[in-house]
């Protein structure tokens, strides 16, 4: 089974914010958890920032392997500008969720920032 998501219909032509990424993620997550393949159709989108992909796709790495995510989340019509941020987001998320030392170091930064806020 393949679930198709039209990204532009959900968030417009600019894929930048975590909130927009979350909209995309929420649209397909249940299907992904059921074992379906997800096609993210980026037709009509233009501008991409990694922060969008962190929530659109990267957060899957908390529960799934990088290989599985890359196998079952298929980007279609992704402009060149989106390729690198998407790949980088998946790489970084994989590292964060699989590397406890990396995560501990990040937690320290976040604690310090929270204390100063």
Task: Point out which residues bind other proteins (CB under 8 A).
Answer: 12, 14, 16-17, 46-51, 54, 58-59, 79-81, 84-85, 88-89, 91-93, 95-96, 103-106, 108-110, 112-113, 116-117
CB of 83 to other proteins, least distance (A): 9
**Gap between the Cα atoms of 85 and 90, Å rounded:** 9
CB of 49 to other proteins, least distance (A): 5
Nearest to 68, CA basis, from 32, 103, 40: 32
> Which CB atom, from 67 or from 113, has the smaller least distance to other proteins?
113
């Amino acid at each position: 089974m393949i679930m198709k998501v039209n990204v532009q219909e959900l968030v417009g032509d600019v894929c930048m914010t975590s909130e927009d990424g979350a909209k995309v993620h929420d649209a397909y997550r249940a299907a992904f958890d059921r074992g379906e393949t997800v096609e993210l159709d980026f037709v009509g989108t233009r501008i991409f920032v990694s922060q969008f992909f962190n929530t659109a796709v990267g957060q899957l790495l908390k529960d799934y392997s990088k290989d599985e995510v890359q196998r079952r989340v298929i980007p279609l019509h992704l402009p060149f500008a989106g390729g690198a941020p998407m790949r980088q987001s998946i790489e970084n998320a994989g590292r964060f969720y699989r590397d406890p030392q990396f995560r501990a170091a990040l937690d320290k930064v976040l604690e310090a920032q929270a204390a100063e806020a």
